[in-house]
Amino acid sequence: MKWETKITNINNGQETIRGKKLSSLINNNTFTETIFLIWRGRMPKTAETKMLDALLTAAIDHGIGTASAMTARIVASAKNSLHTALTAGILAMGERHGSAIENAAKFFIENKNNKNLVQTIKDLKDKKVRLAGFGHAVLERDERSENLLKIAKKLGFFKDICKIATATGKELNNISTKHLPLNIDGAMGAILADMGFDPNIMKGVFITARVPGLVAHIYEEITNDTGLRRLSENEIDYIGK
């Protein structure tokens, strides 16, 4: 079996990542810079490093109540290993949590030049199609997204996709009975698209950002060792016959 790759080469005891010596990266570059290199195949510019660093920081954790953190902690409470609990947490990320970033970016890109955006949004709402990247179960406004967009403007990454994302949010809220903020998935998807990232890698960006937070939750669960997590019987309503 033979595979071809442009990512990593190990030869004569030397490892290179995208053509850069690993020893040089260890000594001279940050983790964020190296992440950008391995994803994009080139070293980032200063503004790109700052933007990616902000994106990863913004998504590092969002509390114990998220599907991923809750799942990871429940699995850890059952005395599974850290990596098993971490895997469970990642698998809990779906279209409603942590994965909307890709679909949001695709919608923004597809509608970048849509002259009938208002009608498109109205048609989707009439069909009860939820627009990825908008709304939040807890937050009426998402300060993470607001801060990221401010940084994007400052660093020069608030371009066509960010503009269509904010325009979509404005039109969506004009016809919605409930305020639907541009959430972190939407903001990350728009900014990453304006940075030149392929939407197909964007879920991976969110997962990379959230892993440290999940590890922290799992470690806390392991060290506290309060026992197996489960619902109490008074939290369960039986509605069968």
56 and 20 share a domain? no
CA distance 99 to 194: 18
- The CATH number for 81's domain is 1.10.230.10
Specify if 168 maps to a domain.
yes
Q: Are residues 30 and 98 in the same domain?
A: no
Whole-model pTM: value is: 0.92
| 91 belongs to a structural domain | yes
Cβ within 8 Å of residue 115, ≥6 positions away: none
Strand order in the sheet with 20-21: 8-11, 14-17, 20-21
> In this structure, is residue 236 part of a structural domain?
no
Residue 216: count of CB within 10 angstroms of its CB? 13
Residue 17, domain extent = 1-44
- Give a yes or no: residue 234 inside a domain: no
pLDDT at 223: 97
Q: Are residues 217 and 112 in the same domain?
A: yes
Same domain flag for 14 and 93: no
Indicate the DSSP class of residue 60. Answer: S
How many separate domains does the chain show? 2
Residues 64 and 32 in one domain: no
Average pLDDT over residues 98-103: 87
Q: Identify whether residues 39 and 138 lie together within a single domain.
A: no
pLDDT by residue (tens digit) across 159-213? 999 999 999 988 888 877 777 788 999 999 999 999 999 999 999 999 999 999 9
How big is the chain by its Cα radius of gyration, in Å?
A: 21
* Same structural domain, 81 and 142: yes
pLDDT in tens, 54-91: 999 999 999 999 999 999 999 999 999 999 999 999 99
Q: What is the pLDDT, as a whole number, of residue 172?
A: 81
Per the domain annotation, does 87 fall within a domain?
A: yes
Alpha helices in 8-66 (DSSP H): 22-28, 31-40, 46-58
Q: Is residue 219 part of a domain?
A: yes
Q: 34 and 131: one domain?
A: no
For residue 158, give every residue at least 6 positions away whose Cβ sits within 8 Å of its Cβ, in sequence order, or none.
Answer: 149, 152, 191, 194
